[in-house]
């Protein structure tokens, strides 16, 4: 299968991580619902890579189930900061080196802390962005802890 060789793919190969490339037709504003539908997987197993900033302007990445939102209040409380807000698309691109809609936690340009919703680790497989719109990689969730030093949080809320 022909798939894009992104910074994320190079990172995974360098770390000897087994992954299955999953391509789909990127739909503007389609989000995880669209990729899950096209790949015929549960949206809960599609993991979003979200770039946030604390009130002190410190960037961080949070990995969240596709069918959940991040409670910024709970995340701020967990991090012991006044507030947390999503980074602007421009800022997120600058920090990660990826376009919004194609943000991968693997191979980001800037080193920042990673947090992941705890229940992601209960899944057998997850589908997470491979560094390009329309391209996910299927991996075991434990990979996140092995290669990213992810800290578990409980900040997910169901829409």
133: nearest Cα among 38, 25, 48: 25
Its pTM stands at 0.96
Tokens of 153: 């949080």
Mean pLDDT confidence for 29-50? 97
Name the fold adopted by 7-158: YbaK protein (3.90.960)
Domain boundaries, the chain: 7-158
List of E strands, 37-154: 46-54, 59-65, 68-70, 84-86, 114-117, 126-132, 135-139, 151-153
Tokens of 145: 């802890």
What's the rounded Cα separation, in Å, for the pair 7 and 94? 14
Band of residue 159 on the pLDDT scale cut at 50, 70, 90: low
Band of residue 158 on the pLDDT scale cut at 50, 70, 90: confident
């Amino acid at each position: 299968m022909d798939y894009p060789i992104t910074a994320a793919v190079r990172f995974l190969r360098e770390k000897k991580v087994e992954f299955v490339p999953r391509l789909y037709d990127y739909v503007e504003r389609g989000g995880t619902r669209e990729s899950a539908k096209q790949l015929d997987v549960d949206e809960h197993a599609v993991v979003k890579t979200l770039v946030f900033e604390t009130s002190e302007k410190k960037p961080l990445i949070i990995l969240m189930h596709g069918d959940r939102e991040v409670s910024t209040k709970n995340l701020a409380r967990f991090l012991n900061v006044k507030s947390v807000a999503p980074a602007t698309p421009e800022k997120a691109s600058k920090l990660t080196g990826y376009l919004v809609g194609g943000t991968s936690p693997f191979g980001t340009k800037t080193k920042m802390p990673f947090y992941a919703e705890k229940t992601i680790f209960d899944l057998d497989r997850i589908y997470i962005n491979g560094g390009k719109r329309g391209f996910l990689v299927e991996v075991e969730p434990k990979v996140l802890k092995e290669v990213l030093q992810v800290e578990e949080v409980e900040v997910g809320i169901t829409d």
